[in-house]
Amino acid sequence: MRILVTGGAGFIGSHIVEALESAGHEVVSLDITPAERPGSVVTTEVRGDVRDAETVARALVGVDAVCHQAARVGLGKGFEDAAGYVSDNDLGTAVLLSQMARGSVPPPLVLAGSMVVYGEGRYVCPTHGVVRPGPRERADLDGGRFDPPCPHCAAALEPGLVGEDAPCDPRNVYATTKLAQEHLAAAWARATGGRAISLRYHNVYGERMPRDTPYAGVASFFRSALERGEAPRVYEDGAQRRDFVHVTDVAAANVTALEALAQAAQPAGELRAYNTGSGEPHTIREMASALARAYGGPEPVVTGEYRLGDVRHITADSRGLRERLGWRPRVGFEAGMESFAKAPLGAVR
- Residues designated catalytic: 174
What is the β-pairing status of strands 158-162 and 241-246? unpaired
Distance, CA of 340 to CA of 321 (rounded, Å): 25
Q: In 10 A of CB 264, how many CB atoms?
A: 10
Per DSSP bridges, beta strands 241-246 and 281-283 are antiparallel
**Residues 91, 97, 100, 104: is their CA dihedral positive or negative?**
negative
**268 with 195: CB under 8 angstroms?**
yes
- Beta-carbon contacts of 154 under 8 Å, excluding residues fewer than 6 positions away, are none
- Of the candidates 124, 196, 128, 126, the residue with the CA atom closest to the CA atom of residue 166: 124
Q: Are 242 and 281 in contact (CB under 8 A)?
A: yes
CA–CA dist 329, 321 (Å, integer):
10
**Dihedral through CA 267, CA 252, CA 186, CA 116, nearest 10?**
140
Closest among 188, 184, 180, 182 to 101, alpha carbons compared: 188
In this structure, are residues 287 and 337 in contact, taking their beta carbons and an 8 Å threshold? yes
Tell me the sheet residues that pair with 129.
Answer: 125
Query: Beta strand 129-131 with 122-125: parallel, antiparallel or unpaired?
Result: antiparallel
| Three-state secondary structure string covering 259-321 | HHHHCCCCCCCEEEEEEECCCCEEEHHHHHHHHHHHHCCCCCEECCCCCCCCCCCCEECCHHH
What Å distances lie between residue 343 and 133, 156, 259, 280, 294, CA to CA? 38, 39, 29, 22, 11
